[in-house]
Structure 1
Amino acid sequence: MPIVSVIIPTWNAARHLEAAVRSAMAQTLAAIEIIIVDDGSTDATVALADRLASIDARIRVERSRRNLGPAGARNRALALASGIWVAVLDSDDMMVPRRLEGLVAVGEAQGADIVADDLIVFEDGAPEAATLFLGGKFRPDWITLLDYLAATVMYGGGPNFGYLKPIVRLAALRAGGIYYDARLRIAEDDDFIVRALLAGLRYWLQPDPGYGYRRHAASISHRLSGGHALAMLASSGELLAAEAGQPPEVVRALAVRHAAMRKAWAFAGFIEALKLRDAARATALVLADPALLSLLHMPVGAALGRLRPGWLPRRPVRAVPAAVAALATIMPGAPGSPSPRTRPEVER
């Protein structure tokens, strides 16, 4: 049995997929399986995934005939996973070599069900300028449901834990019947962790830099459309209704979360109205919530290329040199990357 199932949902990701997969192949924890779920790609993604599978017996490629979205692709991979832990790796991101070994060791030592580390945020093609997502502000500690809800309110002031990429015990997920909400195209990981915490899973934060988060023009994690926001609002509302029997402080935190989702939906609608020059709709939305105007600097700044997504620290902290070097060594063709001529013999 593999210790970790690395699941890589992918769609039209031929440009970055190899770097992601090779970072999994290069893990010092060799007892892993790598499940690539192609979500109906129309580029060279499938051919690339098949080529990588031909050189490493730990890689399995699954194809979807239709586009399920990131949550649906994750669910398909979860159903196929056989590891003790499961780790989601987005197809445009990377992991430093000792990441899984370290997280598993911490998770077992603490008796945790969820273990998260820090993100190394880097611009596409410029890992030497990487910054730390959490900014060195956190120590290893337990994250309660209330802690998590407070740290993931949309447009909040601090780093949003919803962007972290924790490993999770697969048996705990299956025992709790926890899967991704397939309607979500954005924030599916955040919703998933909220449901896991509501089911009683225990979350440990180990803020060592280990997950390389690539920022590039095609990334959708900070692009919020009205349709995406509406799906998030619907999911949040259903969760709030379903958990009405929780302690009052949890219900209040879920209500705050839902109110923030509603504002995000209104804001997305406001921006779309502006783009369509629909003055009547834009005016109506602002009259209903004048605070929307205070959020205008985000898309305007992003459009001008002068503003980072709101979840990044205002004063980024430069990543530690060792983490930057680790990211550089696992890029395709770099010294230290796994040889494409080897096919590890791994017990299945």
Structure 2
Amino acid sequence: MTAAPRPKLSVILAAYNCADFVERSIRSALDQQGLSIEIVAVNDCSSDGTLAVLQAIAREEPRLRVIDSRKNLGPSGARNLAFDHAAGEWGAVLDADDALQPGALGPLVQIAEEREADIVAGSIRFFSHRRQEISGAVFREDAPITALGLKDFVEAARPQNREPDYGLLKPLFRIGFLRERALRYRTDIRHGEDFHFIVDALGAGARYILAREILSYIYTTRESGLSRTRVDYSRMIAETEKLARQAPYSEDPMVAKALTRRADALRMHELNVLYGDATGLPSKLKVLARSLTSSAGQRWLKTKIAKRVVH
């Protein structure tokens, strides 16, 4: 019996309590042209009808493989399990509430292979489920294809940067490289885990190519209520500061400084969110008091005061 040919790309999907919307995500992956694909979907111990939805699609679509985890692994653990079962040369992580741009992954793989890359990313847009609208391009579409080193990535993977936060990008990974370096998603992190996975890959010598002109990933905005990720900026800040103190990142002053700047930017972003969400004077005063506990927070407070004086 002849073995099935190896797919060029495995789409990695962690599925948890997403019965009402996961089909959109899967259909977007199936709508890729120009390369052979499989979808490896892990039902992460869902308590709704997610498993039934996945199995119904799989009965009609042989490119979808369903793994039913009887233990809740979280997004990182579910992705690790899917990567373990992936047969493709490349892996693309897709969240159950998001979508892939039709036909985008073939050109990204071609660019990556031409440039001997281990990681390749395109551009992103944002989909408002409530308004049924997709945002405009987040990058200049005429920007050149560029290679990103570790310092370049960390410097740009933060809010309030010249370009969108690179930590939001959803790259494709050469699966052979991940296996050779034994790279895994950290299962103790459930918000910002993609950033750490990419930092680990770049630290292990991965070559990362960014092709801004190719729209590849469509995020569903948080106002939709579909995302199952709990936002935890405080943990992201603490983990980023920890990286800056750990070898090998602490041994490179440029990388360590970029990590520190990322932590400061995240801290100021968190204060903006907390202040915007605060209702009533006592709640806002608590945020202002919290800002005094760090130098980045104090800079945020000075900016806040300056804006109040100007206006």
For normalisation by structure 2, the TM-score amounts to 0.82
Q: How does 1:55-134 map to 2 (within 5 A)?
A: 55-124=60-129, 129-134=134-139
Identity of aligned residues (%): 34
Q: How does 1:1-348 map to 2 (within 5 A)?
A: 1-124=6-129, 129-136=134-141, 138-207=143-212, 208-215=214-221, 216-220=223-227, 224=231, 228-240=232-244, 241-244=246-249, 246-263=251-268, 281-288=286-293, 289-293=297-301
Q: Give the secondary structure class of the aligned counterpart of 2:60.
A: coil
| Counterpart code for 1:229 | Y
Distance 1:275 1:38 in 2: 42
Q: Give the secondary structure class of the aligned counterpart of 1:184.
A: coil
Distance 1:279 1:165 in 2: 35
| Counterpart code for 1:211 | Y
Task: Render the CA deviation track for 1:40-89: whole Å, top value 9, x for unaligned.
Answer: 22222111101111112221112233433222221221222221110011
Task: Render the CA deviation track for 1:103-122: whole Å, top value 9, x for unaligned.
Answer: 11111111111111111322
Indicate conservation of the 8 Å contact 2:15/2:44, yes or no. Answer: yes
Tell me by how many angstroms 1:91 deviates. 1.1
Tell me by how many angstroms 1:236 deviates. 2.0
Q: Greater relative contact order (Cα 8 A, min sep 6): structure 1 or 2?
A: 1
Distance 1:82 1:62 in 2: 14
The 3 A distance-change label for structure 1 pair 171 and 246 is farther
Tell me by how many angstroms 1:266 deviates. 6.3
Indicate conservation of the 8 Å contact 1:274/1:282, yes or no. Answer: no
Distance 1:101 1:162 in 2: 22
The 3 A distance-change label for structure 1 pair 176 and 43 is same
Distance 2:216 2:264 in 1: 33
Indicate conservation of the 8 Å contact 1:162/1:189, yes or no. Answer: yes
Matched length: 293
Q: Give the secondary structure class of the aligned counterpart of 2:121.
A: strand
The 3 A distance-change label for structure 1 pair 39 and 291 is farther
Distance 1:26 1:159 in 2: 26
Q: Give the secondary structure class of the aligned counterpart of 1:190.
A: helix
Tell me by how many angstroms 1:219 deviates. 4.7
Tell me by how many angstroms 1:136 deviates. 2.8
Q: Give the secondary structure class of the aligned counterpart of 2:163.
A: coil
Range that drifts further, 98-107 or 133-142: 133-142
Indicate conservation of the 8 Å contact 1:7/1:74, yes or no. Answer: yes
Distance 2:79 2:303 in 1: 31
Tell me by how many angstroms 1:155 deviates. 3.4
| Counterpart code for 1:188 | E
The 3 A distance-change label for structure 1 pair 112 and 268 is same
Distance 1:127 1:109 in 2: 36
Q: Give the secondary structure class of the aligned counterpart of 1:131.
A: coil
Range that drifts further, 285-294 or 189-198: 285-294
The 3 A distance-change label for structure 1 pair 276 and 172 is farther
Distance 1:295 1:73 in 2: 41
Distance 2:134 2:254 in 1: 41
Distance 1:116 1:279 in 2: 39
| Counterpart code for 2:243 | L
Distance 2:134 2:288 in 1: 41
Distance 2:101 2:42 in 1: 22
Distance 2:140 2:129 in 1: 20
Gap regions ≥5 residues in structure 1? 297-348
Q: Give the secondary structure class of the aligned counterpart of 2:170.
A: coil
Distance 2:264 2:193 in 1: 18
Q: Give the secondary structure class of the aligned counterpart of 2:158.
A: coil
